[in-house]
A and B are shown apart, each in its own frame.
Chain A
Amino acid sequence: MEIRVVREILEANEVIASQNKALFSEKGIYVINLMGSPGAGKTSLLERTIEALRGEWRMGVIEGDIATSRDAERLAPYRIPIVQINTGGACHLDGNMVRGGLKEIDLEAVDLLFVANVGNLVCPAEFRIGEDDKVMILSVTEGEDKPSKYPLMFQVSSLLLLNKIDLLPYLDFDLEGFQEEVRRLNPKLQVIPLSCKTGEGVQKWLQWLRKRIRCKGT
């Protein structure tokens, strides 16, 4: 016997992500889902960002990694709420894992929450976690062919941070060509080139972030 079903396979995740989002709205928390390859600079970006904004907003971090708490340890000196989620092999965070992590954060004491996803250019793009914005960080050493090889992440992100531009003089990275390819995949995706090492471009990222938080009315 054939049964017609027609259901979204990831519907359970969508439901949980929506519940997370409603909770964030209620608490007035702006949430970023930070995605990128291993080594793209997610933790370095958080270090720069927390350092710059610690007087402006109360921040929290959920760190997703397959194993270890090294990233959380790097951020520990900033004395902000940090929750480490070890996915135990899973290549992305999903709505349910983030919901579990939220139990360990005092949501009344956070205005801005960064969720640093597992380093991966494919899977995190599939799973909403209740974020306001997906921000992608890509480093110039990964090569300029990444947009058309991993299109989904470029299509779902609101902002692309192109990191490690201090290395551009040593690479054959065609910045113009890269930006054109990104525009072809997602005309609305803004690209901010920066270097978490030298600090170049970081102010533009902070301006973008401030504007988005104000839009949300936090």
Chain B
Amino acid sequence: MHEVSIAQSLLEIVEEEVARYPGARVSRISLRIGRLREVIPESLRFAFEVISKGRVTEGASLHIEEVPLSLRCLDCQRVWVAETPFMICPGCGGREVEIISGQELEIESLEIEDGDQGS
């Protein structure tokens, strides 16, 4: 359900960015979302579609790159991809583990159409 709030924040950012291109419409938005964020892509798409009615993002598609969770052991430097963020090294059993990726929740780029070149 936090997808609704995420969609609202996303819409605010996109409207702010697109304001520099008068008359432009957004056709595609690329996002990177890490596995740890517990975001359901379909719910986010649905929420975004609903709140986009009548806005510059109406009809825009969301391209969501799901970033896997990767972890690194600070003892043996092993790097691995995990389904669940267990912070224990499967190699040496070390418990000093850092998250390399999987926490992303960011917008990467926008595809816009029909805009005048920005001022």
Contacts and interface: CB of A to CB of B under 8 A. Distances in A.
Nearest to A4: B109
B84 A151 contact: yes
A152 interface: yes
Given A5-B17, A127-B5, A184 B87 contact: yes
B83 to A, nearest CB: 9
Interface size class of B (residues with CB under 8 A): 20 to 34
B6 interface: yes
Interface in B36-52: 36-38
B5 A155 contact: no
Interface in B59-111: 84-88, 95, 105-111
Nearest to A125: B38
Given A152-B38, A184-B88, A7 B107 contact: yes
Given A9-B6, A122-B2, A187-B87, A1 B111 contact: yes
A187 B97 CA distance: 10
B82 to A, nearest CB: 10
Contacts of A5: 13, 17, 107-110
Given A148-B84, A152-B36, A6 B106 contact: yes
Interface residues of A, number: 32
A2 B110 contact: yes
A184 to B, nearest CB: 4
B17 A3 contact: yes
Interface in A153-167: 155
B115 interface: yes
A191 to B, nearest CB: 15
A125 B4 CA distance: 15
Interface of B: 1-2, 4-6, 9-10, 12-13, 17, 21, 31, 36-38, 84-88, 95, 105-113, 115
24 contacts: A2-B109, A2-B110, A3-B111, A3-B112, A4-B109, A5-B107, A9-B13, A10-B6, A10-B9, A13-B9, A90-B1, A90-B4, A91-B1, A92-B5, A122-B38, A123-B5, A126-B6, A151-B36, A155-B85, A184-B88, A185-B84, A185-B85, A185-B87, A187-B87
